Amino acid sequence: MIGGGQLARMMVPPAIHLGLRISVLAEGEGMSAARAADAVGDYRDPDTVYAFAETVDVITFDHEHVPGEILREVERRGTPVHPRPDALQFAQDKILMREKLGELGVPIPDWAAVSDESELQTFIDAHGGRAVVKTARGGYDGKGVRVVSDSGEVRDWFAALDEDGNGGRLLVEELVDFTRELSQLVARRPSGETRTWPVVETIQRDGVCAEVLAPAPVADPATLDEAARIGIVVADGVAVTGVLAVEMFETRDGRVLVNELAMRPHNSGHFSIEGSVTSQFEQHLRAVADLPLGATDMTAPAAVMVNVLGGPEEGPMPVRYARVLAEFPGAKVHSYDKLPRPGRKVGHVTVTGADLDTVRAEAVAAARAFD
Ligand code: ADP
């Protein structure tokens, strides 16, 4: 596993259960998965990655940032990489992703790749005077996304592209009038076997995922089928191996448009640790090891996951940990063992049960009790 964040950390228990030995190349000693790490080093340094790859049978990731050329060389030297670099590029670069989704005939927002302010202004003017601008690479949790009505509002981003000197472009999209955001998780093995989980609703606050409702409540059966269909078209179309999250917008007129792809376990799938027969973390390992995939049925009618974010106060999450466990014995609390900076994801809480509203109220209350 390259990357030592919470996703790598949550991969460790299922690896033990499956009898797979997991090695983590963490970015630093203080990383969430560092206690499970066998190595610490920079994933952008080719020799560090090659040396790590020699110690394992197969490589996978907890983030999408390892440069493609390093991964191609790892493959050439004989260690399989999943997802393969040819698939991963579509999660690394939002312009490539939009091009590919267009080719696959998947519904997406209207978009363009623009290289200067005048091209951007033309798009804004043609789309009702507002648009969403995104950096093609390196964005996460809404960093690298701006809603603009004037092209001058991203002058700094164009300037940064010029400094890079590789003639980069920004992605611009229509501002979608969505009623909610959905996420479809899919797992795919190298042999092509796929499994989908029920589509979930994701609720973002300040660009960060706050809550996940599984399955997405009051969904039209046609929407559920369409989300699963799109998930499989994308998984097969990019030949992903491992878990793929397809983030979508549901529009007022009942359409589903794809926003984003993530090729790894995803925040929208944390509910599956308790809420599914096979969690996304176990499934990712099965897929990467090319083992048969597990059932993805829900273990209860409803599961709700609420993220715990670091607040203004310093001090580790465990300060209030015991109190939350005492007050909410039905909640499953996950700590990422990270220092709580304001807004940083430091853990999550999941509650499962028969009734979505009851489950949600308990999960929200348990997560808030950390404040
Ligand atoms: P990141 O890679 O930082 O997660 P996203 O592309 O997923 O960036 O965008 C972050 C959030 O911004 C989305 O979850 C959504 O709420 C909003 N957003 C992104 N694109 C659009 C769009 N075209 N129209 C309306 N809102 C958007």
Per-residue pLDDT tens digits for 63-113: 999 999 999 999 999 999 999 999 999 999 999 999 999 999 999 999 999
Same domain for 208 and 71, yes or no, is: no
- State which ligand 1 atom lies nearest to the alpha carbon of 109: 23
Residue with CA at minimum distance from ligand 1 atom 10: 142
In a domain, residue 105? The reply is no
In a domain, residue 215? The reply is yes
Same domain for 144 and 232, yes or no, is: no
Per the prediction, the chain carries an average pLDDT of: 93
Contact 181 CB / ligand 1 (< 6 Å) = yes
In a domain, residue 96? The reply is no
Answer for the pair 191, 288: CB distance below 8 angstroms, yes or no. Answer: no
Same domain for 251 and 126, yes or no, is: no
Contact 138 CB / ligand 1 (< 6 Å) = no
Same domain for 202 and 223, yes or no, is: yes
Same domain for 280 and 354, yes or no, is: yes
Residue with CA at minimum distance from ligand 1 atom 15: 207
How crowded is the C-beta side of 129, counted as CA atoms within 13 Å? Answer: 0
Same domain for 273 and 333, yes or no, is: yes
pTM here?
0.94
Same domain for 226 and 364, yes or no, is: yes
Centre of ligand 1 to C-alpha 246, Å, is 12
Same domain for 327 and 344, yes or no, is: yes
Q: Is the pLDDT of residue 332 over 70?
A: yes
How does residue 316 score in pLDDT terms, banded at 50, 70 and 90?
low
Percent residues over pLDDT 70 in the chain = 96
- State which ligand 1 atom lies nearest to the alpha carbon of 144: 3
Centre of ligand 1 to C-alpha 151, Å, is 18
In a domain, residue 1? The reply is no
Q: Is the pLDDT of residue 318 over 60?
A: no
Same domain for 195 and 327, yes or no, is: yes
Best residue for ligand 1 mutational test, from 259, 266, 345 (most atoms within 8 Å of Cβ): 259
Residue with CA at minimum distance from ligand 1 atom 14: 207
Same domain for 59 and 143, yes or no, is: no
Provide the domain limits for residue 32. 6-81
Same domain for 170 and 183, yes or no, is: no
CATH code, domain with 27 = 3.40.50.20
Contact 144 CB / ligand 1 (< 6 Å) = yes
How does residue 313 score in pLDDT terms, banded at 50, 70 and 90?
low
Percent residues over pLDDT 90 in the chain = 79
- In the chain, the number of structural domains is 3
Collect all residues with Cβ–Cβ distance below 8 Å to 349 and sequence separation of at least 6: 305, 306, 308, 324, 328, 331, 332, 333, 334, 363, 366, 367
Answer for the pair 286, 18: CB distance below 8 angstroms, yes or no. Answer: yes
Centre of ligand 1 to C-alpha 259, Å, is 7
Name the one residue in this structure whose structure tokens are 């925040």: 267
Per-residue pLDDT tens digits for 22-45: 999 998 887 887 777 677 889 999
Per-residue pLDDT tens digits for 136-185: 987 777 788 999 999 999 999 999 887 765 568 999 999 999 999 999 99
Centre of ligand 1 to C-alpha 191, Å, is 32
Per-residue pLDDT tens digits for 256-311: 999 999 999 999 999 999 999 999 999 999 999 999 999 999 999 999 999 999 87
Instruction: Give 143's strand partners.
Output: 140
In a domain, residue 127? The reply is yes
- For 1, other C-beta atoms within 10 Å of its C-beta total 29
* pLDDT at residue 323 in the model: 87
H/E element holding 204? strand 200-205
Same domain for 166 and 182, yes or no, is: no
Listed residues 174, 204, 219: the one ending a domain: 174
